[in-house]
Structure 1
Amino acid sequence: MQRQDTQTFGIGTLASRAGCQVQTVRYYEEIGLLPQPARNAGNQRRYDEATLRRLTFIRHSRDFGFSVEAVRELLDMADHPNMPCDHADAIAKRHLDEVESRIERLSALRDELKRMVAQCAGGRVEECRIVEVLSDHDQCLHASGHGGREAIR
């Protein structure tokens, strides 16, 4: 009788241990971020600790907001540990730039919303500053060419 060196577990256990849903595991398999699993005699998916580590890496990367394509590139680099990490640095730097840009846009949005709320007198809708500003883009400080701020997308 051949002894199995690696303990395996089912998709539910894998998902639970990685903190995700079974559908997420299937999706990552479908798009090639996770390898197709081995199957037992009953055709059930079987996973090992290496797959759990890979799924945890994927989930953590996605939690940081990395795109699926960036995760794919990072996984490829992780699969080749002797490669220089300058490309990983570039991916992280590009993502940081995107996050900082998003924060700037959200800060401008917050400021505009605060301004609109502060200027609302709480009267009737026909006098509502919030409805007025939302109806007339020229009154928004955040719009490109209006108040010198970039448009919020």
Structure 2
Amino acid sequence: MATDLYAFEALSIEGQSVPLDRYRGQVLLIVNTASACGFTPQFAGLETLHQIYGERGLVVLGFPCNQFGHQDPGSNAEIGAFCQRNYGVSFPMMSKIDVNGADAHPLYRWLTAEAPGLLGSKAIKWNFTKFLVGKDGRVIRRYAPQDAPEKLAKDIEAALA
């Protein structure tokens, strides 16, 4: 089992391999996203965090997922265009993945093992579950979907210090 985030790679929304080692020494906020969810407006708050803290070393990574109510059925190209057009997303968006089950992305298997949810559950319960990962590549905290991005600012500042 991996001990930190840097052991993983993912595909960008354009289909390019992205070794997560490229983010060594930065703070990451990893979020499973959806384009047609009640929490979809959180893209605006995530973009704000990216704009405020990006130069200090925060990287927001969005991972589209269609496992919850089929709320992200589009192609990667459609999802990317939606995020840019509706929310001005400029942080990295990755290719659509599964976050639960047999086909869950290995990164999400690791994240949920490192930071279980309520009552120790390793499952992601809904879109916009967030994981804050420190400069050392280890999970600092897991946040629920209803935790608005702006409420994470204090924890992000502490991680960046």
**TM-score (normalised: structure 1):** 0.26
More strand by proportion, 1 or 2?
2
More helix by proportion, 1 or 2?
1
| Higher RCO (CA < 8 A, seq sep 6+) | 2
**TM-score (normalised: structure 2):** 0.25
